[in-house]
Amino acid sequence: MRRRGKNAPLPREVGVLAIVAFVVALGFGVVAPAIPLFARSYGVGTTAVGLAISAFAFFRFVCAFASGSLVERVGERAVLAAGLAVVAVTTAAAALAGNFPVFVALRAAGGIGSAMFTVAALSLLLRTAPAAQRGRSAATYQSGFILGGIAGPAAGGFLTEVSPRLPFFVYAGFLLVAGSVALVLLRPGAGPRPAAGTAPVIPGIDQAGGAEPPATAVPTAGTVPGGLRAALRSRAYLAALVANLGVGWVLFGVRNSLVPLYVTEELGRTVAWAGAGLLAGSVAQAVGLLRAGQLSDSWGRRPALLLGACLATAAMAVLVLPPATGLFLLSMATFGLAASLLATVPAAVVGDVSPARGGRAVAVFQMVADLGAVTGPLVAGWLTETFSFQVAFAVSAGVLGLAVLTALTMPRQVRPAS
């Protein structure tokens, strides 16, 4: 096996997974504007519309752990392709659903396929990327999602105007393309992890048995031999879980649910200003990803995670101040930069500490983000109704602050030689 330093080209699987991520995110961005309108066409209220959206997220959450076990049995490549196929079929069928309960059931089934894809893709990424390249690999993978997520909604709005059903079919087509790319370009050998009892993946050790050069050694907190229980005893893994909870809570939850209301009701601005703030965050995140992976691999995981968690906490704390449009835009841009680190470093940490058969460790990592994405908007919404927007943002800053505290408990690391 060819040795890889931190400046060596990334494994081919990383590029393929980034392409798959782009196609999936592009398709999801296309269908996202259509889901509420299509659900409304059944004559249901706003609560039922929310059910149609949350059913996907809920089943994605509850099926993540089982997906991790499936990855360990049959391999990432097969589970990844099967998951994309499940989402494609259920999405196309949802466009043809004759009544609302069937539509919700199909959306829920799509969440199962999404869990399979997400866990399998991240598990494969972390297993194939050498320790000294995991930060760059995670950043490359995340950039696919970011770019696809930016491009998709604009096309989705246009397609929805043509027909609310059309985005569903387009999304299904994108997923089939992504699944085909995965099956053709991912090596069949990138399947099951080594059986129990084989040597774990240890940073700094080439899996053919030789030690890598010093440039690739210890940017991490070390590998934890054993299963999920052993990983849960790792302070680095726990820090990654808390950071990913904060990502789900704010990036996937509060930012999308509360920020538009804050702009229109507290700042007295139009929805266009909310879109400008979210766009500023997405652009900052995309730009930050260019360096986030390199910082994670060169500085070490602990300082990179601390920087991301501190920036994210400060960005939310800014919104606790008296409302001002300039502060809002600054907060969104700063949080975007922080998100580039928080979307990269925790994933690299999981790859460092996960054992040779790490599907369940990856699944739990994904589950905490989904948990944050589900509970964050609910808690923040209740706090806003009961108290104020500022209280909701203060609590969100507190959740991110927990990531700062847990990152401080990580073992100090030696900066790799350049």
Same topology for domains 12-185 and 225-408, yes or no? Answer: yes
Segments making up each domain of the chain, as ranges: 12-185, 225-408
Q: Other C-beta atoms within 10 Å of 120: how many?
A: 30
**Architecture of the domain spanning 225-408:** Up-down Bundle (1.20)
pTM: 0.78
Residue 288, helix vs strand vs coil:
helix
Structure tokens at 109: 């089934």
From first to last of its 418 residues, the chain has per-residue pLDDT tens of 444 555 678 888 999 999 999 999 888 878 877 887 788 888 887 667 777 877 888 898 899 989 999 998 888 889 999 999 999 999 999 999 999 999 999 999 999 999 999 999 999 998 888 888 888 998 899 888 888 877 777 677 778 788 888 989 999 999 999 999 888 888 765 443 444 334 333 333 233 333 333 333 334 444 444 567 778 889 999 999 999 999 999 987 788 778 888 988 899 998 788 878 888 888 898 899 879 999 999 989 999 999 999 999 999 999 999 999 999 999 999 999 999 999 999 999 998 887 555 678 889 998 999 898 888 888 888 898 899 999 999 999 999 999 999 999 998 764 433 3
CATH top-level class for 12-185? mainly alpha
What is the spatial distance between Cα 222 and Cα 217, in angstroms, rounded to a whole number? Answer: 10
Q: What is the DSSP string of 178-209?
A: HHHHHHHHS-TTS-SPPPTTSPP--TTB-TTS
Buried b (16+ CB within 10 A) or exposed e, 14-27: bbbbbbbbbbbbbb
